């Protein structure tokens, strides 16, 4: 019995763009006979569903009929395979990689039938395309065909004149591929470390990151002998500088990465996904350095990107709103942030909820609700973040969430709960070796606050904690956590008896002044 694709068919159909769906129907009408209507009928029925429901589909496809599960499974399976075939045809019309693969297959077909001149004509076209898009892997295959065709034609003159040139081109291709592999290996190692802990606060971890980029190829971008190599070089440098808290260079290399990508706009028509990520990181770097005019320019850029896939649409939504929320948080315009959040939550409904990474927004939700004074909603968002499965990824965010949990319960006045939360937070941070100066100061303040009896004593404790934070901020590794949440503004709101939003706005006005 064939295996039923289960929700795979539902997920595949719901991930298709409008143009991909239209192409599928044209493909079916052109290539299938006899049972066309059932495939289209099932396709449309699945497309109309908000939640996968096999029983409802059976009634649409086989009304008033008893039908074996096997037959229905076979129909779903075949439709799944049919959609994949149509997508191959769709991608072949839009993707350079598919075009090159098709041309290589055509060369093979022509060669088999001894149409050598046609092979050479096709090969020359493919080589130009491969060179333009730096398709080194395909270029190696084409060079192999060039020798194979000359050998089959017994073209000794050609071999005598061109063999050195072909060998030289092969050597160049192999060097470019080897270099690209080196850059990618460094990039992935840096990425893994940064995903585990985005902001490196211990000397050992910083030294480990230094070692990763201490490679001769990472000294100068001019050593990269391809556009693809330069892209990976700049991406690695950008992530590296963010991880070691060098925000100026994070910004500089983020801008260089965008400039390199924008230098060849036709390459972005092939894959725009990495450009979206690069633009997001650069936008964030502008926000960190208070370059708010540039942030707004970048937000406009997001809306002008021509997407290629459903995943691109999802990614743009995620990055646009993350950066939109971030600027509202930095400027203290939390009410505007709430409005943007409502727009975002409405738009989210059009995406596949399994594909949409809602957990990446929980911290922003918390911050905006906290700034707007809606502590119930803020706590709800924070609990969603705290209840995520514990992984090695982003231990800094997991630690911050527990510190913020203490802050909001202090704000709400849950003094009885604070004592047990304090103990559990201490255990969590101790086990993970994350009890730095910042964390110790907050834990010490919360513990001390339970013994304070007057408003005056509490205000003095806030002043003392603010002084500790000011001292800690001189150390970049301690200052890192203050970038995730404006603890200083929170303390000032308590000391000066004003709202958190007002305190954040005061910080923002000082920055732009």
| 249-264: pLDDT as tens digits | 999 999 999 999 999 9
Quote the CA–CA distance of 115 and 119 in Å, as a whole number.
6
Last residue of a domain, one of 94, 125, 149: 94
Asked if the model's pLDDT at residue 2 lies above 50, the reply is: no
Asked if the model's pLDDT at residue 484 lies above 90, the reply is: no
Asked if the model's pLDDT at residue 5 lies above 50, the reply is: no
* Within-domain flag for 171: no
Task: Return the number of other C-beta atoms located less than 10 Å from residue 400's C-beta.
Answer: 21
Query: Element (H or E) spanning 333, and its range?
Result: none
- For residue 451 the two structure tokens come to 């013994």
* Within-domain flag for 352: no
* Within-domain flag for 470: yes
Asked if the model's pLDDT at residue 460 lies above 90, the reply is: yes
Task: Return the number of other C-beta atoms located less than 10 Å from residue 352's C-beta.
Answer: 12
Last residue of a domain, one of 94, 116, 145: 94
More confident call, 82 vs 62: 82
* Within-domain flag for 205: no
Asked if the model's pLDDT at residue 477 lies above 70, the reply is: no
Counting the structural domains of the chain, the total is: 2
Question: Residues 503, 490: contact at Cβ < 8 Å?
Answer: yes
Report the pLDDT value the prediction gives residue 254, as an integer from 0 to 100. Answer: 97
* Within-domain flag for 156: no
Task: Return the number of other C-beta atoms located less than 10 Å from residue 359's C-beta.
Answer: 14
| Three-point CA angle 105, 107, 112, nearest 5° | 100
Report the pLDDT value the prediction gives residue 1, as an integer from 0 to 100. Answer: 39
Q: Indicate whether this model's pTM tops 0.85.
A: no
Report the pLDDT value the prediction gives residue 220, as an integer from 0 to 100. Answer: 94
List % helix, strand, coil for the chain (3-state, nearest 5): 80, 0, 20
Range of the domain at 400: 394-513
* Within-domain flag for 293: no
Confidence label for 117 from pLDDT (cuts 50, 70 and 90): very high
Last residue of a domain, one of 94, 114, 142: 94
* Within-domain flag for 158: no
Name the average pLDDT for the chain.
87
Lowest-pLDDT choice from 164-178, 267-281, 386-400, 425-439: 386-400
| Three-point CA angle 14, 99, 29, nearest 5° | 50
Query: Element (H or E) spanning 244, and its range?
Result: none
Report the pLDDT value the prediction gives residue 316, as an integer from 0 to 100. Answer: 93
More confident call, 94 vs 28: 28
CA distances (Å), 494 to each of 136, 320, 498, in order? 61, 33, 7
* Within-domain flag for 316: no
- For residue 405 the two structure tokens come to 């949990």
């Amino acid at each position: 019995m064939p295996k039923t694709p289960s929700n795979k068919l539902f997920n595949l159909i719901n991930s298709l763009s409008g143009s991909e769906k239209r192409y599928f129907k044209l493909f079916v009408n052109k290539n299938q006979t006899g049972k066309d209507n059932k495939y289209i009928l099932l396709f449309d029925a699945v497309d109309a569903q908000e939640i996968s429901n096999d029983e409802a589909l059976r009634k649409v496809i086989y009304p008033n009929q008893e039908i074996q599960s096997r037959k229905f499974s076979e129909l779903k399976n075949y439709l799944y395979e049919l959609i994949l075939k149509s997508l191959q045809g769709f991608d072949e019309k839009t993707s350079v990689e598919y075009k090159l693969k098709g041309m290589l297959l055509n060369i093979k077909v022509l060669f088999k039938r001894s149409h050598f001149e046609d092979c050479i004509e096709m090969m020359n076209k493919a080589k130009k395309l491969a060179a333009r898009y730096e398709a080194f892997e395909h270029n190696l295959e084409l060079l192999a065909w060039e020798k194979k065709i000359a050998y089959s034609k017994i073209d000794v003159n050609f071999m005598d004149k061109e063999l050195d040139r072909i060998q030289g081109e092969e050597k160049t291709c192999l060097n470019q591929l080897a270099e690209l592999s080196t850059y990618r290996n460094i990039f992935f190692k840096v990425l893994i470390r940064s995903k585990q802990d985005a902001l490196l606060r211990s000397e050992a971890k910083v030294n480990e990151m230094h070692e990763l980029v201490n490679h001769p190829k990472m000294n100068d971008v001019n050593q990269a002998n391809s556009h693809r190599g330069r892209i990976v070089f700049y991406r690695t440098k950008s992530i590296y500088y963010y991880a070691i808290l060098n925000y100026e260079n994070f910004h500089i290399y983020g801008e260089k990465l965008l400039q390199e990508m924008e230098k060849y706009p036709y390459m972005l028509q092939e894959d725009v996904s990495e450009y979206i990520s690069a633009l997001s990181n650069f936008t964030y770097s502008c926000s960190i350095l208070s370059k708010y005019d540039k942030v707004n320019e970048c937000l406009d850029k997001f809306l002008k990107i021509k997407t290629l896939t459903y995943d691109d649409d999802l990614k743009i939504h995620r990055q646009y709103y993350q950066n939109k929320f971030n600027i509202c948080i930095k400027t203290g315009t939390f009410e505007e942030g709430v409005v943007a959040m409502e727009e975002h939550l409405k738009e989210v409904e059009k995406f596949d909820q399994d594909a949409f990474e809602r957990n990446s927004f929980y911290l922003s939700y918390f911050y905006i609700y906290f700034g707007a004074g809606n502590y119930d909603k803020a706590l709800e968002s924070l609990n969603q973040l705290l209840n995520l499965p514990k992984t090695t990824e982003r231990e800094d965010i997991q630690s911050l969430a527990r510190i913020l949990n203490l802050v909001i319960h202090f704000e709400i006045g849950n003094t009885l709960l604070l004592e047990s939360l304090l103990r559990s937070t201490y255990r969590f941070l101790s086990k993970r070796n994350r009890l730095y100066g910042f964390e110790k100061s907050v834990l010490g303040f919360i513990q001390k606050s339970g013994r304070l009896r007057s408003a005056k004593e509490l205000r003095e404790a806030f002043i003392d904690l603010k002084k500790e934070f000011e001292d800690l901020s001189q150390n970049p590794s301690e200052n890192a956590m203050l970038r995730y949440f404006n603890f200083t503004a929170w303390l000032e709101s308590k000391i000066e008896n004003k709202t958190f939003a007002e305190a954040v706005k005061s910080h923002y006005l000082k920055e732009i002044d």
